[in-house]
Each structure stands twice: as C-alpha cells, then as structure tokens.
Structure 1
Amino acid sequence: MKTALVTGAASGLGYELALLLAKDSYKLILVDIDSSKLTEVKTELETQFNVEIVALTKDLSLPNVSQDIMDNIGDTPIDVLINNAGFGLFGTFSETSWERESAMLNVHVITTTHLTKLVLEGMVNRGSGKILNMSSLAAFQPGPLMSIYYASKSYMLSFSEAIANELKGTGVTVTALCPGPTKTAFQETVSEDASENKIQFNMACAKEVALYGYKAMLKGKSYAIPGKFNKFLAVIPRFITRNAATCIVRKLQAKNRED
C-alpha cells in the first residue's frame, strides 16, 4: 500500500486532496494544527474508505517541525507529499503583525522546503514519488496589501519548477498548484475586511480545484492553473510592465476592501 502525507489536511483543499487519496486507497498521514477537525477527518475517511490513517497535530510555523514529522513517521516511505498548509494576511507591510508574517514565512517557505527535502531523498532512491506544492495565482505578480503572501507563493512556484527540472529522469515529479480565489477556510484567516473575504467573482469550488491539482500531479505536470480565466490572468503580467501589474493588484485589493 502506498503512503501519502498531506499538510493542512483538516479542511479546504487539504481535506479534498486527502479525500481523493483515500478513494485511491492510499495510507494517509494527515497533518494539521487543528486537532479537533483533524480527528473528525480521520474518523470520516477511515469509516468511509477503510484506509489506515495517522493524524499528527503539528504547528507548521515552529522551527524544525518538518524533522519532528519525519521522526513521527519513522521508516514509512512517502510516495506522495502534498504541501498544502498555509494562510494569508491582509494589510500594509508597515502595519501588519511580524509575528503573524514570520509564522506565514515559516509555513509557506521554511517548513514546506524542508519537508520536501526530507521526503525527496527516499523518493529519488526508490525511483518514484510525487510532490504537490500549493502555490497560487498570486505567484505571478507582486501583491500590495498582501505582500508576504504573494511573495511566498511566488517562491513556492519558482522552487517547485526548479526542482521539477532537476528531477527529470529520476521517476520523481513536482507539481505547483496555482489556484485563484477558492472557497475555503483560508478566507477566514486573512482578516475580517480582507479582499479574499469579499471576492465573489471567479470564486472556485475547493473540490474542483483539488481534483484539477490531483490529476496534474498524477500526470507529473510542473505547474497547474485551474480555470481558463485564471490562466489568462497568469499571463497578463508578461505583456505589461511590472509597475503596471503591481498598481493593478493594489487597486483591486483596495477596492475589494472598501466594497
């Protein structure tokens, strides 16, 4: 039986991806900070699909938590790694909380990168494995009023594409999933007046986004952008100046906050 590790698995895209893996009879190692929801998901998937599930309650913003997760796993080989955990923060960088921003950088960048590195060695040695990293449509341009979030997602896209290229011929693939606005609990963690809380146009269904990303991962694509309109939005910055792209994002963020 193959084993999959999913972070941020208690809700949203992480839950939907765990559901898809359970349907395909993977043994699951589910990681989330929310112990209560994680237990509910574990019970639900075990009952519905009769698969073995290990639930690990971890704060992914803490130093060396990736090594802690691997120590908990022991010798279990990881066939699929889904780095899904993440959250956002709205506001000008000069006024937002550094505590919250440093936690975001640890989750999106440090923990995700370290966990990928720790899992990757075994995958390469076995000559097989799949990694899905959660990036965003935000990765394709700077994001005033959500500067750290946009920058961290840009890092994740660049990092994923780079190692995907390095891994060609090894049997291991890396996919960056870049969804646009998606109806998940993410919106609740940004801020009460954040643009993510108010955007209704082009809002995607988490189940559909997860399935799109899951299929892209199985095919070994280096990146995946769900939705034709999102694909169009991703290429616009190539045809205008970076300053213009940044100004457009700023105006959209500010407008959605005012509405």
Structure 2
Amino acid sequence: MVTGAASGLGFELALLLARDGYDLILADIDADKLQQAKENLASQYASEIQLIVKDLSKNNVAEQIFEATHGKPIDVLINNAGFGIFGTFSNTDWQREMDMLNLHVMTTTHLTKLVLKGMLERGEGRILNMSSLAAFQPGPLMSLYYASKAYILSFSEAIANELKGTGVTVTCLCPGQTNTSFQQVVSNGAEASNNKIKFNIGCPKEVAKYGYEAMLKGKVVAVPGKINRFLSRLPRFLPRRTSTAIIRKIQEKNRDH
C-alpha cells in the first residue's frame, strides 16, 4: 500500500514495488492522476492494482482505507502522502493547517496501527514513513510542517525499537528538497526548478530508490544525499537558536518568487 501514489515519490515507490512483483493498493486524493499512474504501472508490470480515492487529510480516513482493502494482507506500507504550507503561523489558514496535521500525524499514525497488527501476526512486514530533512530542526515560516515531520521521525524511531525481533521493520525517509509537485504547492505555484536555492534539489527516482533500498535493509532513518546528511547533523553542533535563524533565512530566500 502506498499513499500519495498518484505522482512524485509515491509513484516512484509504487514503480519499485511493482518491479519487485508486489500487487499494489494505491491511495490518493486525485482520481485522474491515480488512474494515469495505474495505467503507467500496468503498461510495465503485471501487478494487480487497486485504487482508493480518498482525501487522506480528513478524520477517520485511515479506517476507511483499511476497510477498502477487504482484509488483503499488506506486506509493505508506505505512508508517503503529505504537503506543506509556507507563511508565518499568525497569518496561515487554520483549516489548511489542520488538514496537514491530520494527514501527517493522525492518518499516518492510524494507518500504521491498523496495518501493523496483521504484519505482527504474520511475523513479517515493512513500513516506510515519509518524513523530511525538516524533521531535524524547527522551521520558521513552515512551523507546523517542520513540527509534523519531526513527529513522524520520532514516532518511527520509537516503534522501530519496539518492533525489534518481530520480523517487522520501520524506516523513516528524510529527504531534502526534491523536484516534485510538493515544491510547487509550497512555493505558491512556482516550479521547484525556479526556487532560488536549487543546488541541492533531489531527483524523485533517486530519492525513492534510496528510501526503498533502506526499507528493504530495515534501516531506521534514511537521509539521501551527502549534503542532506551533513545538514541533518548540523543542529547537534549549532545552538538551536542559530540553526532556527539559518532555516528562516533559507526559507525567506527560497520562497521569495
């Protein structure tokens, strides 16, 4: 099962699963793009593909998605769906923020809980949760996005420890900027290639491959790219106030179109 599978990293991860012979359950809010993704996958691989069109930011949607699988065993769960919001907390739209928090925190957590039971009963399973380089420090001008990604990282590390020896692994993928529609949404419609800071924008195929291989190895935290790995460690050596100020400068420059 892959959420946010219609495009970007979700689609690339679905491709890797199909290549390896998995049947797929793909969930996304965009019915047209999801159908296109299915047709693309079906043209290359023989996987059976089930589509679930749902808004994953709404209350109790995880239960609806799980029920739609009709009891099929889920060997791999990839919680990929997500989006970001740019702006000062005092000025951003609360409804949009609540949807984001529901998606990143509630849906990710609930879907993991629902799927995990069957994995534990079978004694095998792999879970990949999509976090971000943002998880490692506070992020002014994207405060709730950074905070929600920090939640995903902390949650994933904790349950990965709980699941040692069960045959079930949890991997948290923490990419930096990646050239997907995510950047366009955050940047108020601007393409990621037009971002002011563009020396370290990752390729979706490469990021997905890195995360997928880390998941297969049972690695707990996966940060693709040498620069990103360096940046993820930087808050350990800088005063927290300093690293927070640096992130604000980066956001101001990067989103100023």
Q: TM-score range by the shorter chain?
A: over 0.9
Question: Does 1:8 pair with 2:23?
Answer: no
Answer whether contact 2:85 2:186 (CA < 8 A) is retained: yes
User: How much has 1:48 moved relative to structure 2?
Assistant: 1.4
Contact preservation (8 Å) 2:178, 2:201: yes
**Hey, what's the Cα distance between the residues in 2 that align with 1:78 and 1:85?**
17
Query: Could you report, residue by residue, the CA deviation over 1:134-179 in whole angstroms, capped at 9, with x for unpaired residues?
Result: 0000000000000011000000000000000000000000000000
Number of positions where the alignment pairs a residue of Structure 1 with one of Structure 2: 255
Whether the 8 Å contact between 1:195 and 1:257 is mirrored in structure 2 is no
Task: Find the residue that maps to 1:182 and give its secondary structure.
Answer: coil
Residue matched to 1:238: 236
* Equivalent residue, structure 1, for 2:183: 187
Separation of aligned partners in 1, 2:73 and 2:47 = 16
Q: Secondary structure at the match of 1:55?
A: strand
* Paired residue type of 1:207: K
Q: Hey, what's the Cα distance between the residues in 2 that align with 1:83 and 1:50? A: 23
What SS does structure 2 have at the residue aligned with 1:183?
A: coil
Aligned match of 1:226: 224
From 16, 23, 35, give the equivalent of 2:31: 35
Cα distance in 2 for residues equivalent to 1:224 and 1:28: 23
Q: Aligned residue for 1:208?
A: 206
Q: Secondary structure at the match of 2:59?
A: coil
Counterpart pick for 2:120 among 124, 127, 132: 124
1:70-107 CA-to-partner distances (Å, cap 9, x unmatched) read 11101101000000000001000000000110000011
Distance in 1, Cα, partners of 2:201 & 2:215? 22
Contact 1:193 1:257 in 2 (8 A): no
Q: Match for 1:83 among 73, 79, 85? A: 79
1:150 paired to 2:146? yes
SS of 1:144's equivalent in the other structure is coil
Give the unaligned 5+ runs of structure 1.
Answer: none
Contact 2:184 2:190 in 1 (8 A): no
Other structure's SS at 1:81 match: strand
CA distance in 2, matches of 1:168, 1:69: 27
User: Distance in 2 between the 1:87 and 1:190 partners?
Assistant: 8
| 1:105 maps onto 2:92 in alignment | no
Between the aligned partners of 2:226 and 2:91, the Cα distance in structure 1 is: 35
Question: Aligned partners of 1:37 and 1:250: how far apart in 2?
Answer: 34
Q: Tell me if structure 2 keeps the 8 A contact 1:132–1:217.
A: yes
Report the 3-state secondary structure (helix = DSSP H, G, I; strand = E; otherwise coil) of the residue aligned with 1:132: strand
Residue of structure 1 in register with 2:162 after alignment = 166
C-alpha distance in structure 2 between counterparts of 1:100 and 1:28, whole Å:
29
Identical counterparts, % of pairs: 66
Q: Do 2:160 and 2:170's aligned partners in 1 also have CA atoms closer than 8 Å?
A: yes
Match of 1:23 among 2, 19, 27: 19
Q: Cα offset for 1:194?
A: 7.7
Q: Secondary structure at the match of 2:139?
A: coil
SS at match of 2:255: helix
Q: Shift in Å at residue 193 of structure 1?
A: 7.2
